[in-house]
Amino acid sequence: MEKKVRVRFAPSPTGGLHLGGVRTALFNYLFAKQHKGTFILRVEDTDQTRFVPGAEEYINSCLAWCGITPDESPEKGGDYGPYHQSERKGTYKQYADRLVASGHAYYAFDTPEELDAQRKAFPNFLYGQASRMHLRNSLTLSAEEVTDLLEKNTPYVIRIKIPADEQVSFVDMIRGHVTFDTNLVDDKVLLKADGMPTYHLAVVADDHAMEISHIFRGEEWLPSAPIHILLWRYLGWADEMPQWVHLPLILKPDGNGKLSKRDGDRLGFPVYAQNWTDPRTGELTQGFRELGFMPEAFVNLLAMLGWNDGTEKEIFTMEELIERFSVERISKAGAKFDFEKAKWYNHEWIKSSPAEKLRPQVEALFVKNDIPVPADPVVLDSVIDLVKDRCQLLTDFVTQSAYFFVSPKEYDLGAVKPKWTPEKAAFFMAFIPELDPALSAEELEAQFKTLALQFNLKPGELMLPFRVMLVGGKFGPGVFDIAIRLGVTETTKRIMNALSTFN
């Protein structure tokens, strides 16, 4: 019988959620949904020294914003809990002890000072085959000495004993056959002195306990694969080992190395899903949501970083991604992050979204920026539809539509004054009586051009001043569309206010 698909996203609550982490969650989710499987959120919080308050709530918020909803999680529960690693602490030591008993792991009593001395003496020091027999551990001490040290509660760690001269091979669903030489792998710590497991032991024990079928994780975990495969084997679970999927890195825009928060700070774009404030330093790191990205666009652009469906199609809904996703179409090569392309995705989603979908977010931006929200939603919807093609980010709706509800306080005089004449001022005074609420934008434009000819002025020379009068600058949709939506009274008021500044 085919194994039921169960996948997990297992972040550590140590800070902001990098877009690479969200992509890992997304690919897990798409694979699970496509195969009618289960998507699990497991919080790997065993390293209490790196725990950051609020980070878990932040992770939950990011996934909820993206529409990546776990089937099992600390919040939702499930039959395979608990879903915090720290709550499973009591289960790990038995596996470490089993590995020691079978000769696949050993006690290491070396003090931090002794290990520091080794690192100073040997710059490339690794605790492993070449060094283990010269150090203080249960392989070099007698059974009596080990028993005595344990009875005296001497601090120790448990390390895996990596075999010499072996090839550890596995099939990665993206990369095919991958082989590691065990002579290049060190004896990683499995159980720390405080009784907490390291990632290596905990991840294998939890994936087995939760019956995980496929492990989607970043390419940076490839060097850990031989350790994990040996643990699956040594614990007697080789036949139940999940299939492996090591996802390509998300690279800096120039392709030289993995994209980091530092790169985003340096180049002026976010790498976190949402704003994150470090509770220790108070440092705020901007997120895609607060910058003005739609969640649908964020998910869409993440999916296309290292995957495509084999066609030219680039815009996908979540439902389409679930339907078309396949591991076979994930690239082995890293994907360069292009912020201009990211904004393009957002622009496409804004353009194609109906006004009523965008309205709640635009209203929230208006409130934040002290712009009055019209009581009639139809009014705001008409403005949204008029300007959305000009908005790459949701925050652009503030500059692109605020002038419909707030008169300009400043004018781009540099665009008007050099070519301003008394004849143009006279034209606009004569144009005010031409305004009529019964006119369409096209009819108003025709009136405008006819009057311009009567004043021996070129209509093109009057369009820009008219725009600046109404909106304050050289932006916005068709100027006659703006005038019609403002209405006769407001348009008249703005022309008069501007004339007093221009003259």
Nearest Cα to Cα of residue 187 among 231, 144, 147 = 231
Ramachandran area for residue 236 (φ above 0: left; ψ -120 to 50: alpha; else beta): left
From the candidates 93, 261, 336, 341, give the one annotated as an active-site residue: 261
Distance CA(273)–CA(207), nearest Å, equals 26
Distance CA(292)–CA(294), nearest Å, equals 7
Instruction: Quote the tokens at residue 113.
Output: 């000072």
Report the DSSP beta bridge partners of residue 41.
9
The torsion angles phi and psi of 467, rounded to 5 degrees, stand at: -60, -45
The DSSP output letter for 313 is: -
Q: How far apart are the first and last CA of the chain?
A: 84
* Residue 449 known to be catalytic: no
Nearest Cα to Cα of residue 346 among 407, 293, 274 = 293
Report the DSSP beta bridge partners of residue 214.
243
Q: For tokens 């004849």, what's the residue?
A: 423
Distance CA(240)–CA(211), nearest Å, equals 8
CB 42, CB 85: distance < 8 Å: yes
Residue 465: partners with Cβ closer than 8 Å, 6 or more residues away: 416, 420, 424, 428, 498, 502
Helices (H), 35-121: 55-66, 89-101, 112-121
Nearest Cα to Cα of residue 502 among 405, 414, 399 = 414
* Residue type at position 476: G
Report the DSSP beta bridge partners of residue 167.
181
Instruction: Quote the tokens at residue 43.
Output: 């919080």
Q: Interhelix angle for 89-101 vs 199-209, to 10°?
A: 100
The torsion angles phi and psi of 246, rounded to 5 degrees, stand at: -100, 110
Distance CA(312)–CA(290), nearest Å, equals 30
CB 499, CB 465: distance < 8 Å: no
The torsion angles phi and psi of 412, rounded to 5 degrees, stand at: -80, 80
What is the set of active-site residues?
A: 261
